[in-house]
Amino acid sequence: MVNLGSGAAGSSSGCHGVSRMKKHKRRGYAAQDGREGARRQRQQQVVVEDPPTAEEELVNDQPKAPIEEGATDVEGFPSGPHDTSVLSDLENHIALKVWNGEERPELKLSSHGRKMAEFGRPTPEIEGLVVASGLSPLIACSLDTGDRGLMSTFVERWPKETSSFHLPVGEVTITLDDVVSLLHLPVVGAFHSFKLLHVDDTIEMLVELLEVNAIEACDRIVAARVYLLHLLGCTLFANKSATHVHVVFLDALRDLTQSRGYAWGAAALMHMYDNLNDTSKSTARQLAGYITLLQCWIYEHFPFVASTVAVEDYDERIPRACRWTSGKALPVSTYRRRLDRLTLDADDFAAIADRLDRLLNLRILIEGTEAYTVV
């Protein structure tokens, strides 16, 4: 893994990032205890919540049936589902723990929005190469901060067996069209197979593609690869480390003239799905993946659930994610109550039709035809 911290990306220290990262994790436990205490204090601050409705108060007054650990008999789980053959791993899901009154702390998020802002845009010498890669829309898309309560609430409603959020209005999920709209990334194209690398292979790739042993790497192609590797590590393929990115992604940047042909959007969506699957387990404490993609998707489709803040001078020709800024974070209990009140009315269907119309026009725009106006 390569270090994502400040300083020159692709330094020789990145060659041994995998082994050093394990050591850092072991040394970091004591420091994490102090940070956890501080986070718990912040979570205990008083926040004004939406008042419960009469129906919710009636439901809350009902006693909850105790469920033994690992119970998966034919009668199913409390309040459903009664058929456990579909959601086979529900006994390990955070939703069952919440139903039984066992709360977990708000999820830690792998969000690098501020780091992207500090890293800035590519220099004029490599800007053309970055644009040619097809990844340049990501430069300005990332939110400054992630909403931990909002992400935690939606993860509670995500079973890995269906890859969708289970809401009162039905099942919904992030689609490839959402990725196109929010990020302007290609979702059709070649798929690159990333293989696990041995330490020796990692060193060889760093020396070959980033010239980490050179005293001064002046080659603009090398500089473009460094910039794009940092961009991928902070956005599409963000992991649970705050400072490292997997070297394996360099392989997709070997020939920058072919990078635009990869289905980056589809890969990012699959990576997000995998991280949602992992984090839906009751033992998980952190959500990785491109947090901006998930959070802006919620802003787009559920504006009355999240505290959305839209940019006044947003230009419809740029990625839809750029329309939003981070809103005020609220506690999980407030987001749960708002999700429970979701309904579909005529205005909702009109909004859905409007989004579909915008997506159709957007597809014309990004496929390179002469129709450059998004209605």
Q: Please give the Cα distance from 3 to 1 (Å, whole number).
A: 7
* SS3 state of residue 7: coil
Q: Please give the Cα distance from 216 to 234 (Å, whole number).
A: 25
* SS3 state of residue 109: strand
Residue 317 burial (10 A CB sphere; 0-12, 13-18, 19+)? exposed
Residue 152 lies in a domain: yes
Per-residue pLDDT of the chain (375 residues; tens, 9 = 90+): 656 654 433 333 333 333 333 333 333 433 444 444 444 444 444 444 556 555 455 445 544 444 444 444 446 666 666 777 888 888 899 998 898 889 999 999 988 877 887 777 888 888 888 998 989 999 988 888 899 999 999 999 999 999 999 998 889 999 999 999 999 999 988 777 666 666 667 667 777 777 665 444 457 788 888 889 989 999 999 998 878 888 888 888 888 888 888 999 999 999 999 999 999 999 999 999 999 999 999 999 888 898 888 888 899 889 999 999 888 899 999 999 999 998 876 566 566 666 666 655 554 444 444 433 333
Residue 61 lies in a domain: no
Could you list the residue range(s) of the whole structural domain that residue 222 is in?
2-23+87-343
Residue 195 lies in a domain: yes
Residue 280 lies in a domain: yes
Nearest to 132 by CA among 16, 227, 41: 227
Angle at Cα 74 formed by Cα 71 and Cα 75, nearest 5°? Answer: 80
Q: Please give the Cα distance from 203 to 210 (Å, whole number).
A: 10
Calculate the alpha carbon distances from 258 to 28, 171, 189, 222, 269 in Å. Answer: 40, 37, 11, 15, 21
Residue 270 lies in a domain: yes
Residue 133 lies in a domain: yes
Q: Please give the Cα distance from 330 to 350 (Å, whole number).
A: 28
Residue 75 lies in a domain: no
Residue 32 lies in a domain: no
Query: How many domains, the chain?
Result: 1
Would the pTM count as exceeding 0.95?
Answer: no
